[in-house]
């Protein structure tokens, strides 16, 4: 193999006239057409000066060409760096600058703003969307074959930025091997084949929609119903023609809220998979009562892809994330990395080909989270039972997961603390029926000052993506602290969490 990622995921599809993407708005894209389009895009991207090893930052609405751009980057050895479409210009500037991206591909609707971002860090700018753009124009008419650039399995394939407890996002570097090994394991474990039709309503800028859902279907050779976003009507419309679905817990609670969703509608489905956030045992139970299907829950992270999964054939235990994957070593450890006896709660650590190569340009951060023996410290608190099932019982890291998106309180607190009249702030997650958790901000005014909440909200709106913004604000005289002076977020959650 001269380029393991391309040769595993994409090359086998050349010449196949089977359906790869069903487009809900009408039409299909075959496997062969997809591979040919990727080659055209690879020519276009190379024409913009991108070479193997360069980063290609992409903030584009979900569309077939965006997926083909992932394949194009694999074929030309460039590093694919997808970004949440909700990110503001301020957030994007950091990602493009930090990664040193050679090319920023953005939505034509935000061309002026994004071109400024690209210019500021010396990146070339191009546009792409389902309705076209300068990159699609440059690709149209190009040769439909492209000579695959040789790569090694340890070469980098993608960067995914993940926030952190310091408030500064880190570029997780994923190698070809990370992606291939995990997708191959999941394909086999979950028994995906070319007969499968996956309902794909997740975004493709995160691990779940791209490296789990899409990579698994590429290896299996099956089809995806490629929906722009979660739309319950569309899911219900396509369900009788599909065999599987992957989603965050909000997908499942929203389906259960719809009376049309029942046993008959799901009769053709063989598998429902949930991840990215805790699935309530209640949801699991209600889902089985309504449909007869037991949701299969799994657990992973940007840095590691997937680590555990409930079994396909064995018992799927509600409230657990299942067993370590066959090629992932997992231990529940104490603060020194020493494995604890089964049944005791500790930090989940994992080792295997799935574990990333480190954070871009942050060797000290990488070292902090990596043990000398190669185990990665996830920061999740877990417990493993005698049979090996893992339950995530909490997070050692200060993290809010809202509708499957991660929000690090520190990032919000830094913005809030900088506002006029604010002395300090604390952000905590409070329960939310639809999204699991949402952020609530507690502000302490400076002595004698007034906090202008409208001005604070406006500033937060400029700085941070909408999904990160606090849903509620409280103004208090002081924050609860322990004897060490540390803010007691547990107390804040108890007070405001309803
Ligand atoms: C949208 N909004 C949100 C979220 N999504 N607010 C908080 N949390 C969210 N997740 C806000 C919008 O800004 C907007 O605000 C309003 O909600 C409606 O937006 P819309 O786009 O219509 O929302 P939606 O379509 O209902 O989306 C909710 C969703 C979506 C379906 C839960 O967020 C989603 O697809 N989440 C999946 C995320 C995901 O793929 N995570 C995987 C990460 P306003 O109206 O005020 O403007 S990978 C990962 O975690 C690991 C590796 C793993 O294990 O998989
Ligand atoms: P991310 O940084 O987006 O990769 O999010 C990874 C985090 O999501 C993990 O460290 C967990 O805290 C959480 N997570 C993912 N899947 C699950 C799950 N099935 N149950 C509980 N938490 C999960």
Q: Please give the radius of gyration of the chain, using alpha carbons only, rounded to the nearest integer.
A: 23
Domains of the chain: 4-151 (3.40.50.12780), 399-496 (3.30.300.30)
Region 215-225 average pLDDT: 98
- Measured CA to CA, the distance from residue 333 to residue 12 in angstroms comes to 41
In the DSSP assignment, the letter for residue 213 is I
Distance 449 CA to ligand 2 centre (A): 39
Helix (H) or strand (E) holding 281: helix 281-291
Q: From CA 137, how far away is CA 441, in angstroms rounded? A: 45
Above pLDDT 90, what percent of the chain? 96
Residue 405 Cα to ligand 1 midpoint, Å, equals 6
What was the pLDDT predicted at 394? Answer: 87
**Nearest protein CA to atom 37 of ligand 1, as residue:** 404
| 208 Cβ closer than 6 Å to some ligand 1 atom | yes
Ligand with smallest separation from the Cα of 309: 2
Map residue 471 onto helix, strand or coil. coil
| pLDDT reading at 164 higher than 80 | no
pLDDT at 390: 98
CA of 270 to the centre of ligand 2 (A): 24
Q: How far apart are CA 468 and CA 453, in angstroms?
A: 17
Judge if the beta carbon of residue 350 lies within 6 A of ligand 1.
Answer: no
Q: What is the mean pLDDT of residues 364-383?
A: 96
Position 483 confidence tier, pLDDT thresholds 50, 70, 90: confident
Rounded alpha-carbon distances, angstroms, from residue 104 to 43, 128, 335, 446: 16, 10, 40, 41
Ligand 1 centroid vs 279 CA: distance in angstroms? 16
Which pair of tokens denotes residue 103?
A: 């090319």
Rounded distance from Cα 294 to ligand 2 centre (Å): 20
Which ligand places an atom closest to the C-alpha of 212? 1
User: What average pLDDT does range 18-28 have in this prediction?
Assistant: 96
Give yes or no for residue 405 CB within 6 A of ligand 1: yes
In three-state secondary structure terms, 21 is: strand
Q: How far is the CA of 301 from the centre of ligand 2 (A)?
A: 6
- Burial pattern 35-70, b for ≥16 Cβ within 10 A else e, equals bbbbbbbbbbbbebebeeebbbbbbbbbbbbbbbbb
Q: Confirm or reject: Cβ of 468 under 6 Å from ligand 1.
A: no
Looking up tokens 């099932």, which residue turns up?
389
293 CB-near residues (< 8 Å, 6+ apart):
266, 269, 271, 272, 287
Nearest CA to ligand 1 atom 6: 467
Q: Which residues contact 229 (CB under 8 A, 6 or more apart)?
A: 62, 201, 203
- Cβ atoms 185, 170 nearer than 8 A: no
- Kindly state if the Cβ of 402 falls inside 6 Å of ligand 1: yes
- % of the chain exceeding 70 in pLDDT: 100
Maximum pairwise Cα distance, the chain: 72
Q: Residue 250 in contact with residue 404, Cβ under 8 Å?
A: yes
Dist. CA 138–CA 140, nearest whole Å: 6
Task: Give which of 413, 403, 414 is closest to 440, Cα–Cα.
Answer: 413
What residue ranges in 124-196 does DSSP mark as E strands? 124-127, 156-162, 170-175
- In angstroms, what is the span from residue 13 Cα to ligand 1's centroid? 32
Task: Name the residue among 275, 303, 302 with its Cα closest to residue 390.
Answer: 275
Nearest atom in ligand 1 to 306's CA: 54
Helix and strand numbers (H, E) in the chain are 16, 25
User: How far is it, in rounded angstroms, from Cα 90 to Cα 117?
Assistant: 8
Supply the pLDDT for residue 222. Answer: 98
Whether the pLDDT of residue 398 is over 90: the answer is no
Tens of pLDDT, residue by residue over 47-102, are 999 999 999 999 999 999 999 999 999 999 999 999 999 999 999 999 999 999 99
Mutate to test the pocket of ligand 2, among 349, 395, 401 (most ligand atoms within 8 A of CB): 401
Q: What is the pLDDT of residues 327-350, one digit of tens each?
A: 999 999 999 999 999 999 999 999
pTM equals 0.96
Work out which ligand 2 atom sits closest to the CA atom of 297: 19
Instruction: Find the helix or strand (DSSP H, E) in which 198 lies.
Output: strand 197-200
| CB-neighbour burial class of residue 207 (10 A; exposed 0-12, middle 13-18, buried 19+) | buried
Per-residue pLDDT tens for 235-251?
999 999 999 999 999 99
SS3 365: helix
Residue nearest to atom 45 of ligand 1 (CA): 466
**What DSSP letter does each residue of 388-423 carry, written as one string?**
--EEEEEESS--EEETTEEE-HHHHHHHHHTSTTEE
Q: How far is the CA of 379 from the centre of ligand 2 (A)?
A: 10
Strands 305-309 and 405-407: unpaired
List C-alpha distances in Å: 23 to 224, 268, 377, 425.
Answer: 9, 20, 40, 45
| Ligand 1 and 249: CB distance under 6 A | no
Q: Which residues contact 339 (CB under 8 A, 6 or more apart)?
A: 331, 332, 333
CA 300–ligand 2 middle distance (angstroms): 6
**pLDDT average, residue stretch 386-392:** 97
* Average pLDDT taken over every residue of the chain: 96
Alpha helices in 89-191 (DSSP H): 89-99, 111-120, 134-139, 176-189
Q: ∠442-248-37 over CA atoms, to 5°?
A: 120
Q: How confident is the model at residue 199 (pLDDT cuts 50, 70, 90)?
A: very high
Residue range 360-364: mean pLDDT, rounded = 97
Atom number, ligand 2, closest to the C-alpha of residue 406: 3
Greater confidence, 482 or 269?
Answer: 269
How would you write 46-73 as a 3-class SS string?
HHCCCCCCCEEEEECCCCHHHHHHHHHH
Q: How confident is the model at residue 498 (pLDDT cuts 50, 70, 90)?
A: confident
Task: Indicate the SS3 state at residue 43.
Answer: helix
| Site of tokens 């952020």 | 439
Cα(409)–Cα(438) distance, rounded to whole angstroms? 11
Cβ contact 30:56 at 8 Å: no
CB-based contacts of 341, cutoff 8 Å, min separation 6:
none
Evaluate if residue 434 carries a pLDDT over 80: yes
Nearest ligand atom owner, CA of 62? 1
Mean pLDDT across 118-132? 97
User: Do residues 199 and 251 lie in contact, with contact meaning Cβ atoms separated by under 8 Å?
Assistant: no
Q: Is 207 in the pocket of ligand 1 (CB under 6 A)?
A: yes
H or E segment at 474? Answer: strand 472-475
Confidence of residue 373 (pLDDT cuts 50, 70, 90): very high
Distance of CA 459 from the midpoint of ligand 1 (Å): 21
- Give start and end residues of each alpha helix (H) in 165-280: 176-189, 207, 215-220, 232-238, 249-256
Q: What pLDDT does residue 1 have? A: 56
Please list every protein residue whose CB sits less than 6 Å from any atom of ligand 2: 162, 207, 275-278, 297, 299-302, 321, 378, 380, 392, 395, 401, 406
Cα-to-centroid distance, 218 and ligand 1 (Å): 25
For residue 304, how far is its CA from the centre of ligand 1 (angstroms)? 21
């Amino acid at each position: 193999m001269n380029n393991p990622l391309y040769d595993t995921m994409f090359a086998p599809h050349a010449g196949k006239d089977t359906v790869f993407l069903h487009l809900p708005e009408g039409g299909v894209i075959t496997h062969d057409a997809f591979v040919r389009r990727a080659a055209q895009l690879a020519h276009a991207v190379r024409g913009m000066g991108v070479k193997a090893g360069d980063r290609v930052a992409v903030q584009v609405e979900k569309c077939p060409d965006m997926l083909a751009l992932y394949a194009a980057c694999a074929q030309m050895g460039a590093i694919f760096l997808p970004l949440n479409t909700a990110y503001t210009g301020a957030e994007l500037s950091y990602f493009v600058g930090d990664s040193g991206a050679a090319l920023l591909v953005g939505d034509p609707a935000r061309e002026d703003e994004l071109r400024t971002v690209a210019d500021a860090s010396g990146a070339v700018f191009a546009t792409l969307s389902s309705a076209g753009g300068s990159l699609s124009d440059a690709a149209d008419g190009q040769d439909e074959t492209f000579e695959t650039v040789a790569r090694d399995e340890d070469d980098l394939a993608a960067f995914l930025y993940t926030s952190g407890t310091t408030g500064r996002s880190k570029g997780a570097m994923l190698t070809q091997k990370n992606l291939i090994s995990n997708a191959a394991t999941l394909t086999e474990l979950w028994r995906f084949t070319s007969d499968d039709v996956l309902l794909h309503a997740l975004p493709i800028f995160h691990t779940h929609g791209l490296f789990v859902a899409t990579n698994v279907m590429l290896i299996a050779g099956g089809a995806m119903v490629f929906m722009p976003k979660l739309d319950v009507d569309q899911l219900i419309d396509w369900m009788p023609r599909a065999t599987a679905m992957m989603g965050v817990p909000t997908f499942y609670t929203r389906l259960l809220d719809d009376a049309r969703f029942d046993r008959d509608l799901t009769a053709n489905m063989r598998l429902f998979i949930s991840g990215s956030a805790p699935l309530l045992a209640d949801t699991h139970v209600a889902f089985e009562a309504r449909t007869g299907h037991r949701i299969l829950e799994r657990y992973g992270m940007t840095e590691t892809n997937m680590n555990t999964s409930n079994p396909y054939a064995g018992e799927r235990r509600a409230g657990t994330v299942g067993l370590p994957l066959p090629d992932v070593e997992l231990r529940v450890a104490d603060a020194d990395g020493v494995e604890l006896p089964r049944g005791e709660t500790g930090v989940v650590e994992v080792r295997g080909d799935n574990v990333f190569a480190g954070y871009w340009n942050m060797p000290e951060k990488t070292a902090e989270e990596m043990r000398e023996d190669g185990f990665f410290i996830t920061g999740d608190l877990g417990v493993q039972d005698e049979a090996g099932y893992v339950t995530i019982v909490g997070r050692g890291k200060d993290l809010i997961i809202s509708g499957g998106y991660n929000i690090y309180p520190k990032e919000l607190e830094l913005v809030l603390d900088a506002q006029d009249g604010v002395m300090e702030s604390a952000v905590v997650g409070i329960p939310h029926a639809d999204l699991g958790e949402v952020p609530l901000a507690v502000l302490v005014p400076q002595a004698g000052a007034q906090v202008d909440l409208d001005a604070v909200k406006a500033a937060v709106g400029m700085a941070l993506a909408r999904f990160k913004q606090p849903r509620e604000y409280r103004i208090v005289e002081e924050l609860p602290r322990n004897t060490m002076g540390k803010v007691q977020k547990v107390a804040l959650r108890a007070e405001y969490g309803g």
